[in-house]
Amino acid sequence: MKRPFLTLFLLLLCIVSSQAQVTASWQLLENNFKDEGYYRAELALTNTSGKPIDAGWKLYFNTVFIPVPATVENPGITITHLQGDFFVLEGTEKTPALGVGEEIRIEYRSEEPYLKNSYAPEALIFLNPNGSHFELKDYQVKSFTTDQLAEMTTGTPLPIPIASELYQRNEGLSLLPKSDLPPFLPTPKSWRYTGETLKITNAELAVVGAPEFAKESTFLLESINNSYKPKVNAAETPIQIRLEKDSTLPDEGYKIKISDRNVSITASKPKGAFHGVQSFLALMPADFWKGQKDELTLPQLEIEDFPAYGYRGFFLDVARNFQPKSQILKILDMMSFYKLNVFHFNMVNDEGWRLEIPGLPELTEFGGRRGFSENETEFLWPYYGSGADPKTSQTGTGFYTVKEFQEILTYAKARNIEVIPEFGVPAHSRAAIRAMEKRYQTFLKAGKTEEALQYRLAEDNDQSKYLSAQNFKGNTACVCQESTYTFYEKLVVEVKTMFEEVEVPLKNWHTGGDEVPRGVWTESPLCKDFVARNPEYKIADLNDYFRYRAAQILKKYDLEMGGWEEIGQTHEGEVITPNMKFADQNWRLYAWNAVAGWGGEDMAYKLANAGYPVVICSSANFYFDLAYDWDPNERGHTWSGVTDIYQSWKTVPGKLYLSHDLTIEGKEWNWEAVAKNFTQLTPEGKNNIIGVSGQVWTETITSPEMLEYYIFPKMLGYIERAWVGDPSWSDAKTEAEMKTQRTQQFDVFANAVGQNEIPKLEAMFGGFNHRVPKPGAVEKNGMIYANVQTPGLIIRYTQDGSDPTVNSPIYTKAIPKKGGEKFRVFTQSGAFGQVLELEGTQIDRRQK
């Protein structure tokens, strides 16, 4: 009889809890950019529930932009850091009661300036004194404008993208004839138009391939048939596409010749033929990708092409915020189309475990779910605002089953893409550590001590104090116990089996190895005992010990070890140098930490010269989770500066010092001065640069659409560098010549993006959400001039104070200033970007 009553009671409790209402607002009070800088902010909470809220409530929220610890001005109230970006606002004893309609304002200070409107606390969760909780739906953040940020930063070199700043950046760009543009991106090594473009309607089409190119022929025919739906007219001459073999071409090289209705794609190896197939498809205009067309457009031309690098990678993190399998397949389609050939797949981190591992269900049952609880016993906390309910969390909860992962593997293989899984150890492992502690407790309670200890990653009584780069505690596995290596080997065996079962070779394994926090293992009883028994090691050497053990496990299973640059580094005091101990082990290093102006920009060269194979992943150029610019409305990180299509395009992998014009702080980057102290690649070092990689970490990315926005169009600049290599302007004799040629060459590239690639991106593979840039504008002698970073897009304007729409006038030449002008960029399909409003403080701050 008690169960129905209990059920009714719980139901009523849920109803009462859901009716509890608290509204919130946040505003910036002060933003100081002098010296080290700081900001002050205020969070206001109002009880709108219609009934009193007892003392002792708590407010949980996410943000990575509050220091640890935070300074709260209100007596008796603290902001306590829990883990990562998760904080709780609570009373030192109890938070005060909130009467009906009562408001409380909490003021706090952060020891860094405030840069982005998205940096405010988010995903607020209110915990009632009775233990019930709810998410605050009525929460307002008072934002500030680009002009206001420009005023705040007056006197600093930070390049805030006000109208005149954007206009100056876009100077030298103009709309070019399509005949001046490459036929597609990435730009082929050589091309020549040989005749007029052909429009062919309702003609029969056949693909004939050499026997070794059978898969490539089938892929091309299926791709064409998805879009070309002719009502075959026997009077029309058929189109024949031939895939032919030419053993003299490079492995990934190809030739294309289109003359009249005959198409030949020539290659020496299947992967070269596949690139030729993708290049043929890239010749198709945007409307081809919309499907159901009875017409084909064939440019008559000759192309000869091959890549600069054998490794052309794309790194995607799905641990911090999850992406569904369908989005991964779409990313693989995009990679294949743009001739990227390595998918570096990061599926585990502190904030989530995203792959089913047979025999270790806790990894996904615990580590694959995020939601709210006070003590994080059943699932991880809702990092990055992923929501209180683990059942409905789209970004916090999720993982790939073995079957789904194998679908990804086979999909990638069919597109000539190698999948390299990353399972980061020993740091960045909190999800795994917590999941294995869950397993440990379960088996311990069942009296199965041996099973409990088998895969344990933590240890009892470790009092080491540390905080990771992402503000996690307890995120590093104990490297002094054998169960850690048992766990690692179990992981290797299971993942390799997944590859083998679908006949996908697994050759390379990425072991992470980055950002091991200072202070880790210093108070570990097991590690103290280990170094006592092994006097050749000190606590400071345990990283090397772990790397050696991990490498031995991988070698046992015929896998090559890779990791972030840290696995090939050592510390000499505060100086970081290549670790010569492992330089002959063929460990592949991913050189990432290249913040412009911090001194580590040439680390990739130092490691390559030392003998390590190196992939250049420069954070200042190829980290696409960085914001596009310093506009406060552009989401994304700024820790390594900002990155747009120009910043990624102008990277010079062979002369990295030419890749910047400004430091992260916006100060001048002098090429001549920097070059004097910049490490030069030796002949061996140059051979050790095996390729490049573009990265996306997902802390600030909360949907597939947002992921695509972060990637495009800025990633097109990286794609150009990955295939083409160093731009030709970097070989000019003087700095003046280099910069002149750079502007000219970027003009061609930017036109190719605006006129050709963006229309295709909006149509192919279901269409990609992409950023449309804000225009630049300047007033001269009573006239307003406007421009755009990617010519081919459309600038529209109004002069009555309203926001421009797809029906507003098109800007084609300077207009007289009347007041109230607004500009906005549109694509040919009608997608649009932010509004540029000329009323306000659109000033050149350097003249102030």
Q: Which helix (H) or strand (E) holds 165?
A: helix 163-170
Q: What is the per-residue pLDDT for 14?
A: 46
**Tens of pLDDT, residues 173-208:** 999 999 999 999 999 999 999 999 999 999 999 999
Based on the number of CB atoms within 10 Å of its own CB, is 91 exposed (0-12), middle (13-18) or buried (19 or more)? middle
Phi, psi for 705 (deg, rounded to 5)? -65, -40
Instruction: Name the pLDDT band for 840 (thresholds 50, 70, 90).
Output: low
* pLDDT, average across residues 604-633: 98
Q: What is the per-residue pLDDT for 292?
A: 84
d(CA 105, CA 72): 11
Q: What is the per-residue pLDDT for 573?
A: 82
* pLDDT exceeds cutoff 70 at 12: no
Q: What are 846's two structure tokens?
A: 């350097």
| DSSP three-state, residue 415 | coil
CA-wise closest residue to 251 among 225, 263, 269, 232 = 269
d(CA 243, CA 241): 7
* β-bridge mates for residue 508, sequence order: 560
C-alpha angle with apex 394: 392 to 398, nearest 5 degrees?
A: 95
* pLDDT, average across residues 426-433: 98
**Positions marked active-site:** 515
**Tens of pLDDT, residues 417-426:** 999 999 999 9
What angle, rounded to 10 degrees, do the helices at 325-337 and 704-711 form?
20
DSSP letter assigned to residue 672: H
Q: What is the per-residue pLDDT for 848?
A: 34
d(CA 42, CA 84): 22
* pLDDT, average across residues 94-99: 96
Using the Cα atoms of residue 262, residue 267, residue 273 and residue 277 in order, give the sign of their dihedral: negative
- b/e burial code for range 354-387 (CB count within 10 A of at least 16 → b): bbbbeebebbbbbbbbbbbeeebeebbbbbbbbb
What residue type is 557 in one-letter code?
A: Y
| DSSP three-state, residue 174 | coil
- Cα 378 to Cα 128, 367, 369: the distances in Å are 20, 9, 9
d(CA 406, CA 326): 13
Q: What is the per-residue pLDDT for 842?
A: 47
Q: Which helix (H) or strand (E) holds 798?
A: strand 794-798
Cβ proximity of 780 and 167 under 8 Å: no
* pLDDT, average across residues 520-537: 97
Q: What is the 3-state secondary structure (H, E, C) of 272-314?
A: HHHHHHHHHHHCCCHHHHHCCECEEEECCEEEEECCCCCEEEE
Q: What is the per-residue pLDDT for 845?
A: 40
Torsion of CA 465, 468, 469, 470, to 10 degrees: -120
* pLDDT exceeds cutoff 70 at 643: yes
d(CA 807, CA 642): 33
Q: What are 495's two structure tokens?
A: 């993942």
Q: What is the per-residue pLDDT for 15?
A: 44
CA-wise closest residue to 549 among 664, 426, 459, 658 = 426
* pLDDT exceeds cutoff 50 at 581: yes
CA-wise closest residue to 509 among 524, 529, 489, 523 = 489
For the chain, the residue count is 848
What residue type is 635 in one-letter code?
A: R
Q: What are 841's two structure tokens?
A: 């403080």
Q: What is the per-residue pLDDT for 5?
A: 45
The distance of Cα 380 from the centroid of its chain, to the nearest Å, equals 22
Alpha helices (runs of H) in 725-809, residue ranges in sequence order: 735-752, 758-761
* β-bridge mates for residue 59, sequence order: 89, 126
CA-wise closest residue to 693 among 188, 314, 154 = 314
The mean pLDDT value of the chain amounts to: 95
d(CA 168, CA 150): 16
**Tens of pLDDT, residues 135-161:** 999 999 999 999 999 999 999 999 999
Domains in the chain with CATH codes: 18-143 (2.60.40.290), 158-186+734-848 (2.60.40.10), 190-305 (3.30.379.10), 309-563 (3.20.20.80), 592-722 (no CATH)
Query: Higher model confidence: residue 36 or residue 398?
Result: 398
* pLDDT, average across residues 455-467: 97
24 conformational bin, left if phi > 0, alpha if psi -120 to 50, beta if neither: beta
Instruction: Report the percentage of the chain scoring pLDDT > 70.
Output: 97
Written as one string, the DSSP assignment of 499-523 is HHHTT----EEEEE---PPTTTTTT
| DSSP three-state, residue 85 | coil
* pLDDT, average across residues 336-363: 98
Cβ proximity of 350 and 468 under 8 Å: yes
* pLDDT exceeds cutoff 70 at 3: no
Radius of gyration of the chain (CA): 29
Instruction: Name the pLDDT band for 400 (thresholds 50, 70, 90).
Output: very high
* pLDDT exceeds cutoff 60 at 7: no
Alpha helices (runs of H) in 683-789, residue ranges in sequence order: 683-688, 704-711, 714-724, 735-752, 758-761
* pLDDT exceeds cutoff 50 at 729: yes
Residues near 481 by Cβ (< 8 Å), separated by ≥ 6?
456, 459, 526
Instruction: Name the pLDDT band for 37 (thresholds 50, 70, 90).
Output: very high
Alpha helices (runs of H) in 87-154, residue ranges in sequence order: 146-152
Q: What are 684's two structure tokens?
A: 């061996």
* pLDDT, average across residues 545-566: 98
Q: What are 564's two structure tokens?
A: 């972030």
Based on the number of CB atoms within 10 Å of its own CB, is 444 exposed (0-12), middle (13-18) or buried (19 or more)? middle
